[in-house]
Chain A
Amino acid sequence: MAQSPLDVHVLGFADIDYLETDRAGVDDGFFLGQLVGHAAAGLSERTTFFAEVSATARPDEYRIEVERLILRYDFNDALKVSAGRYHTPINYWNTAFHHGLWLQTTVSRPEMIRFGTRFQPVHFVGVQVEGAFPATPLGVGYAVGLGNGRSEDIARGGDPGDVNNHRAWLGQVYVRPPSLFGFQAGGGFYLDRISPEQEELLGLSSEVDERILSAHVAWLRESPEFIGEYAHVSHELRDDGEEHESDAFYAQLAYRLPGRADDWKPYVRYERLDTSTADPVYAPFDLEYEGTTAGVRFDFTSLAALKIEYRRERFETRDWFNSLYLQLSLAFGETGGEDAPIIPSTDHGP
């Protein structure tokens, strides 16, 4: 939508959680999730600035992080050029819900795209060209990006620069047919050369070429709601050409109940993350995962929800853990539109 200069719009998200678990080393009890602020500012009719900042409770402090910071120029629907820090647009969840837990049906993200995971790059710093062709029958859209890729700590994006002077490329294509509102399907790729910090520790003598292929399908009309994603990660050691393949997927199904029960939405999710045990990039981090989630979301107002969720999960094919999560999540700020400008009356008659 068009805006006048210095037109700023603010949104916020927050969550308050409770956990009971039999997983060793994880504290039970109440905890604060994230307080997230989002601002969108129209700098001109075609130039927009977006920012997302989070505050996360840590044992000794609140950690403030700039999650997204994007300056974008819109030439038209088919061509929008931007620079900044993004959530890597090769997955669906990562760019559909960001840090707004109230937007997502479940308490937390799937493990394969969890914040802080090392399986895939969650953040991306660089430039992006994107666009869509909404008038076409399939509603095709795309994004192409060039950026720093992963940092030495591969859980982080390359915010202070590219650690190995080898840029990452990414691309995504999706369809969103106008006749099937709520449906989206697509795929993406990500190419980078990474220099993980465990290189010396593991006796790695070279950097690693990383290739990621992903696919997703989503139907978000709520009765039912379905999201499924798959990602394949290939790591090739530069010195001897040794290759390691890893895969991850999840499938989530939810259903908004009809009639007077429409504040309730039960859901289930199954997910797996199969990493190569010999992959020196993943080996230190116990990424192998299998989990089943079942829960119900209760929207007690249009901007706040209570989620009650049971999760059974295991890491590295070890023992199963059982956890019960409760989450209050909410959104606040400008919602559903903004007041139109007042046009001075031109009537001068009696």
Chain B
Amino acid sequence: MRRTVALALVSFAVLGAPEARAQTRGAVAIVVNPSTAVDDLSLLELRNVFLGERQFWGDGSRIVLLVRAPVAYERDVVLNRIYRMDESQFRQYWIAKVFRAQVSSGPKIVYSNDMTRQLVAALPGAVGFIAAGDVAADMKVLRINGKLPGDPDYPLR
């Protein structure tokens, strides 16, 4: 019950106030499975997660990385702001990563914000991204550099 209230409050902070909702326009929210014991990551830490350099959360659970398929605005933001790669570099990066036996597979590809929502809720350790305007009340949204998608200077937009 307490967790539901907390998630609802976070979601209100992301979406609730009209002025905040205006500021979420174009923002991409980082969402995790509600059981994940992390609330806040720096952009560098988030980059480590999305690059597969960090493969476990602090509680020892394995990170399950969800990435939108091309072509999607959210994917463009993540490739530009987190990966700093274009599509071809992204593909080459994961081929090399798997071939070097640093990971056993690339990210799991999702095809819609709705699919991201379902998978993040269902898979322990899952982390994905979604248009901030599509964040549902029961989703856990991470602060990035201490900012939520509705905040000024939020880095993922």
Contact = CB atoms under 8 A, between A and B. Distances in A.
Contacts of B62: 1-2, 45-46, 74
Contact of B66 (A139, A178, A340): A340
A340 B105 contact: no
Contact of A135 (B45, B107, B125): B45
Interface stretch (B23-31, B94-102, B134-142): B94-102
Band of interface residues on A: 35 or more
A150 interface: no
Pairs of residues from A and B, 9 with the lowest C-beta to C-beta distance, nearest first: A336-B91, A302-B88, A340-B108, A337-B106, A134-B53, A48-B104, A337-B109, A2-B62, A50-B101
Contacts of B9: none
B115 interface: yes
User: Would you call the interface of chain B mostly helix, strand, loop, or mixed?
Assistant: mixed
Interface of B: 44-45, 47-48, 51-56, 60, 62-67, 84, 87-88, 90-92, 94-96, 98-101, 103-110, 115, 118-119, 122-123, 125
Nearest to B102: A132
B99 A38 contact: yes
Interface string A122-142: 000000000010110001000
A118 to B, nearest CB: 25
A7 interface: yes
Contact of B65 (A1, A40, A42): A1
A68 B100 CA distance: 10
Given A103-B95, A135-B54, A178 B104 contact: no
A7 B108 CA distance: 12
B115 A340 contact: yes
B53 A132 contact: yes
A68 B101 contact: yes
A77 interface: yes
Contacts of B96: 96, 100, 103
Interface string A1-15: 111000101010000
